[in-house]
Amino acid sequence: MKIYRTLFICLALAVACPAAADIYRYEDPDGTVHFTDAPTDRRFKIFMRDLKKDKKLRTSFKLPGYARNPAEFEPIIQSCAKEFGVDCSLVKAVIHAESGYNPNAVSPKGAQGLMQLMPKTAQGLKVADSLNPSDNIRGGVRYLRFLLDTFKGNEELALAAYNSGLNKVARYGGIPPYQETRQYVSKVLSYRNNYR
């Protein structure tokens, strides 16, 4: 009975307000699943992201396909995070900030896929297809590992370099004084805390 009630609520949300807001999900210990577009509890995690309302994402990316269920990529994320020794929640946060879980996202500068790899970076990481979720996540996590090692585990500097490039972080001896980069670092760390 609980399963049917959950499915009904989920369908009702989808029909009543298609792409009107982000949808969050939380599962009780007894198996009851809750959905909301206005989470009041930290246990709610993003289930479906509304890219249509996000002006920045909408204008920054070509969206041949919208965001997919983040849980779909969980096995790939877990595997790559374990392989390269990177915190799973950090990987999820980067994907969330970079593409909103849209594997087909392409930025105006040419960055592609879930972790928004630039073609030259992807080539250096031996990523065969940046729009292939498995290839993209593996390459992105490998790059994150490299940046974390370069900055001796300092996540803020690694994320700043992921956003603006190693040279800029080296030039300024820390997070570059760009509003976009500073906001990016703050946003990813906030997402990471929510995914934990």
Active site residue 98: yes
Of the candidates 98, 155, 156, 180, the residue annotated as catalytic is 98
> What are phi and psi for residue 34, nearest 5 degrees?
-115, 140
Q: Give 9: exposed, middle or buried? Use CB within 10 Å, 0-12, 13-18, 19+.
A: middle
Say if CB 24 and CB 30 are below 8 A apart: no
Cα 70 from Cα 77, distance rounded (Å): 10
Q: Which residues pair with 26 in a beta bridge?
A: 34
In the numeric block, the tokens 């370069």 are attached to 150
Residues with catalytic function: 98
